């Protein structure tokens, strides 16, 4: 490859990377900061009717996945949560799916069954969405063992992307 073609390729690759990271920064601009702040409380009732408190998982990292049962992108990425659970033991990382913008528990249950979700599902509400600054679905937060926000993302995450986010804590 001559120098001109190489320079053109590198310029195009740089522009694509800049657009990608610019869009990512734009999408996550209103989410919780990743500057070491501790994540808000997450308490509620699970889909199975049990009380849930994220604080009980303190001392280990957590992946908190916010979804809506009607969200097609959430549906496309739901299986990746199951694969992550198979790769990472519950003692290694807490994986929580928080349902938001749902009409009934039956709607969330049907979604969970259709996607065979094998993670804890918490029935969230508008207060949870506000505290966690959720403006789009799906949204993800990765918390370290002290439950500080270390990563955040909006939209589809591939199996590899989700694994990398959770593995790096």
> Do 20 and 59 lie in a common domain?
no
The pTM of this model reads 0.84
- Structural domain span for residue 96: 33-167
Rounded Cα gap, residues 123 and 128, in angstroms: 10
- What is the DSSP code (8-state) at residue 61? -
> Would you give the end-to-end CA distance of the chain in angstroms?
40
> Do 7 and 88 lie in a common domain?
no
What is the predicted pLDDT for the residue at 77? 92
- What is the DSSP code (8-state) at residue 39? P
> Do 106 and 66 lie in a common domain?
yes
Helices and strands, number each (H, E), in the chain? 5, 7
Rounded Cα gap, residues 76 and 166, in angstroms: 19
| Local mean pLDDT, 10-residue blocks, the chain (169 residues) | 82 73 61 88 96 92 96 94 89 95 97 95 97 95 95 88 79
The domain that holds 124 is classified in CATH as 3.40.30.10
């Amino acid at each position: 490859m001559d120098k001109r073609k190489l320079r053109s390729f590198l310029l195009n690759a740089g522009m694509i990377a800049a657009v990608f990271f610019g869009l990512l920064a734009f999408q996550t601009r209103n989410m919780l900061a990743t500057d070491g702040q501790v994540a808000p409380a997450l308490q509620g009732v699970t889909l199975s009717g049990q009380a849930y408190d994220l604080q009980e998982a303190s001392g280990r990292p957590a992946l908190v996945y916010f979804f809506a049962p009607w969200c097609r992108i959430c549906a496309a990425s739901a299986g990746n949560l199951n694969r992550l659970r198979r790769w990472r033991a519950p003692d290694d990382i807490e994986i929580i799916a928080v349902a938001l913008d749902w009409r009934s528990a039956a709607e969330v249950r049907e979604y969970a069954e259709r996607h065979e979700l094998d993670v804890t599902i918490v029935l969230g509400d508008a207060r949870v969405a506000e505290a966690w600054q959720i403006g789009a679905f799906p949204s993800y937060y990765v918390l370290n063992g002290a439950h500080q926000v270390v990563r955040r993302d909006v939209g589809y995450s591939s199996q590899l992307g989700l694994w990398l986010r959770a593995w790096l804590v």
